[in-house]
């Protein structure tokens, strides 16, 4: 998805595949960020010397901010689409 998104930009235009591929890529990215953060949290509970508490907290904050941005974007898309019709 990332390659298709970049390829459409490099082709001097976005084309019909740019938006769907970009959205799918970022959804996969956000899902993986949250999933890896949850795995690291469980791993830290099992083995505390794997990752420091500060580093884990920063990863959790980063994941929460990413999810909040996506929720905000989805809510705004819904609000704008309702107001346009």
Q: What is the pLDDT of residue 19?
A: 78
Please indicate, yes or no, whether the overall pTM of this predicted structure exceeds 0.75.
no
Q: How many CA atoms lie within 13 A of 22 on its CB side?
A: 11
**pLDDT tens-digit profile of 32-74?**
999 999 999 999 988 889 899 999 999 999 999 999 998 998 8
Cα distances from 45 to residues 2, 32, 39, 40, 41, in angstroms, run: 34, 20, 10, 9, 6
Residues in the chain: 85
Cα distances from 62 to residues 17, 50, 68, 69, in angstroms, run: 29, 19, 10, 11
Q: How far apart are alpha carbons 71 and 64 in whole angstroms?
A: 10
Structural domain boundaries in the chain: 2-84
What's phi and psi for 49, nearest 5 deg? Answer: -90, 5
């Amino acid at each position: 998805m990332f390659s298709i998104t970049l390829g459409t930009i490099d082709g001097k235009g976005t084309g019909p595949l740019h938006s769907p591929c970009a959205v799918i890529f970022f959804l996969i990215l956000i899902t993986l960020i949250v999933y890896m953060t949850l795995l690291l949290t469980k791993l830290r509970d099992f083995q505390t010397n794997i990752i420091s508490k500060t580093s884990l907290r920063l990863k959790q904050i980063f994941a929460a901010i990413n999810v909040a941005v996506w929720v905000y974007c989805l809510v705004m898309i819904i609000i704008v689409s309702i107001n346009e019709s």
